[in-house]
Amino acid sequence: MAKYLFITGGVVSSLGKGITAASIGRLLINRGLSIRMLKMDPYLNVDPGTMSPYQHGEVYVTDDGAETDLDLGHYERYTGQPTSQKSNITAGSIYWDVLHKERRGDYLGGTIQMIPHISDEIKGRIRALEKENPDIIVVELGGTVGDIEGLIFLESLRQLALEVGRDNSIFIHLTYVPFIAAAKEVKTKPTQQSVAKLREIGIMPDVLVCRTEVDLDREHLDKLSLFCNVPKDCVIVEKDVETSIYEIPLMLQRAGLDEIVLNRFRIARPAVPLKDWEKLIQTIKNPAGTVRIGVVGKYSELQDAYKSIYEALYHGGYAAGYKVEAVKMAAEEIEGNPAVLDTVDGILIPGGFGVRGMEGKIRAAQYARENRIPFLGICLGLQCAVIEFARNVCGLAGADSTEFDEERGAKAEHPVVCLMEEQVDVREKGGTMRLGACPCSLVEGTKAYEAYGAKQISERHRHRYEVNNSYRAQLEEGGLVLSGINPDIGVVEMIELADHPWYVATQAHPELKSQPVKPHPLFKEFIAAAVKRHEG
């Protein structure tokens, strides 16, 4: 029978529950245990797929095509284990399914209520992970204790913990212990009130993880233990880290959190040092230098909109022994002043939707090509590179994507990027969004092939538009190397330039599979090229 580890948050949001959950997952795997991780979001959207990046940040895509919360990115980066559609639950999807069952008559005309119908649906979704036979299922509840939309989730966790028994469940409550600068005092009252809220619901936290900006004295820890009814050795301090969020697993291991969990579950597994993570932190703390990478995006002011992009860039830097400074560049500003790109060692164009900033991205791709600056295009970044090459090398002055026909008020004269259904040879495939893992066959001798060291690869996708096969011959005659092709549907997956230090673009989202101790090959080679340019 699987054990359950529940993580809740109190006082304020954005405390880093996702990173803490991922770090705990890393520690459990390090002790030889198999785990599955699940994020529950109380908002009423069915999934994050249509949510604005300004509100929600990036949409994280799994191999099986689920559009999920960005915390699943933390889970995969820290644990090295893939997530799936089962790994993210929203309140919207729960209500959606229950109401559909009611309409079908599954409840035989009964009155549908929060308890037991909604709570049973939530528990059923959680327990579905038991079919994969993990030792421990780690469940993170988004939001903050006291949020009205999260109450039914907390009630469901209370019921589930009762059903599986005390020896098979543990509650870890992440809370904020503020330091009031004017009074020069640490305040434990917000945490006490947060725990009181949990106790009202019927949940007694077994472990407190205290987020804080300062060190906590024994006096504070004893007070938290006494008033929150948590054993002293189960009050864990998670102070702000100075170097990197990848220090958190080491911090929690030093505090003995993995040992506390195993003791509760009566599991005997020897302690194992996190040697690869210790080595990683030493690399981060002692870089050989700094390289600047310009990220030319539509949502450049939002850190979370390109969360996985930035993390993958940092991972590439770790492999090279360098610190990466991700320079956020608004695409609209590049259009009129591309020379600002001379201040960076590499240029990356991330994915996106909509025409805003498109010409600036196209101009950035041109500048990288003409000035031999290392370049990596991702999803829309590949499409920008193809449009730019078609316009300025192949002489197709009206080259564009049909995605922007309506917004530009005219049809593209040369639709070098279009929906699959607009292409004769793949008409039967339809024009729906490609989501999840897709295969790619790489051409031997190309930079992409050298980076991966394999001919057949698989990457995750989230897009609707493809390179138009009708223009492939012209693009290749102009010198564009089509280095990766999808063997199933015959569309271009990767492009590059042979006579350039490093100019590669992919239709996929490789950033979703990068890890700090195992950087993605494309990001690793991209940063290596940027380092070479930097050193001169």
Please pick, among 509, 520, 525, 534, the residue that the annotation labels catalytic.
509
| Together in a domain, 197 and 176 | yes
CA distance 375 to 457: 21
| Together in a domain, 401 and 457 | yes
Q: Which of 280, 314, 334 is at the close of a domain?
A: 280
Domain that holds residue 472: 287-535
Q: Which of 262, 280, 298 is at the close of a domain?
A: 280
For residues 243-264, average pLDDT: 96
Whichever domain contains 96, its CATH number is 3.40.50.300
For residues 51-71, average pLDDT: 86
| Together in a domain, 371 and 466 | yes
pLDDT in tens, 258-280: 999 999 999 999 988 999 999 99
For residue 360, pLDDT beyond 50: yes
| Together in a domain, 273 and 303 | no
pLDDT in tens, 77-92: 999 999 999 999 999 9
Domain count, the chain: 2
* pLDDT score for 14: 85
* pLDDT score for 429: 39
* pLDDT score for 305: 83
* pLDDT score for 535: 94
DSSP assigned state of 59: P
* pLDDT score for 155: 98
For residue 283, pLDDT beyond 60: yes
Evaluate whether 54 touches 82 at the Cβ level (below 8 Å).
no
* pLDDT score for 242: 86
Which amino acid does the sequence have at 220? H
* pLDDT score for 426: 41
Q: In terms of Cα–Cα distance, which of 156, 161, 184, 162 is closest to 172?
A: 161
| Together in a domain, 440 and 296 | yes
CA distance 458 to 438: 5
For residue 290, pLDDT beyond 90: yes
C-alpha 9: how far from chain center:
20
| 3-class secondary-structure state, position 270 | coil
For residues 286-298, average pLDDT: 95
| Together in a domain, 303 and 269 | no
Q: Which of 280, 308, 331 is at the close of a domain?
A: 280
For residue 430, pLDDT beyond 70: no
For residue 512, pLDDT beyond 70: yes
pLDDT in tens, 103-126: 999 999 899 999 999 999 999 999
Please pick, among 210, 228, 379, 438, the residue that the annotation labels catalytic.
379
pLDDT in tens, 181-208: 898 899 999 999 999 999 999 999 999 9
* pLDDT score for 431: 47
pLDDT in tens, 446-464: 999 999 999 999 999 999 9
How far from 342 is each of 100, 301, 438, 512, CA to CA, in Å?
56, 20, 35, 28
| Together in a domain, 339 and 358 | yes
List the alpha helices (DSSP H) in 371-431.
380-392, 405-408
How far from 30 is each of 78, 271, 274, CA to CA, in Å?
11, 8, 7
* pLDDT score for 190: 95
* pLDDT score for 433: 83
| Together in a domain, 169 and 299 | no
Whichever domain contains 302, its CATH number is 3.40.50.880
Evaluate whether 158 touches 201 at the Cβ level (below 8 Å).
yes
pLDDT in tens, 15-47: 999 999 999 999 999 999 999 999 999 999 988
Percentage of the residues of the chain whose pLDDT score is greater than 90: 84
* pLDDT score for 57: 80
* pLDDT score for 54: 65
| Together in a domain, 427 and 313 | yes
| Together in a domain, 168 and 293 | no
Q: In terms of Cα–Cα distance, which of 55, 106, 66 is closest to 89?
A: 66
Range in 302-306, 324-328, 378-382 with the lowest mean pLDDT: 302-306
CA distance 392 to 377: 17
pLDDT in tens, 149-181: 999 999 999 999 999 999 999 999 999 999 998
pLDDT band at 422 (very low <50, low <70, confident <90, very high): low
For residue 141, pLDDT beyond 90: yes
For residue 301, pLDDT beyond 70: no
Between residues 171 and 333, the one the model is more confident about: 171
| Together in a domain, 479 and 434 | yes
Please pick, among 311, 466, 496, 511, the residue that the annotation labels catalytic.
511
| Together in a domain, 224 and 262 | yes
pLDDT in tens, 378-416: 999 999 999 999 999 999 998 999 988 877 767 888 999
Q: Is 509 a catalytic residue?
A: yes
Whole-prediction pTM? 0.93
Percentage of the residues of the chain whose pLDDT score is greater than 70: 96
Give the DSSP per-residue string, 423-471.
SGGGGGG-SPPEEEEEEEEEPTTSHHHHHHT-SEEEEEEEESEEE-GGG
Across the chain, mean pLDDT equals 93
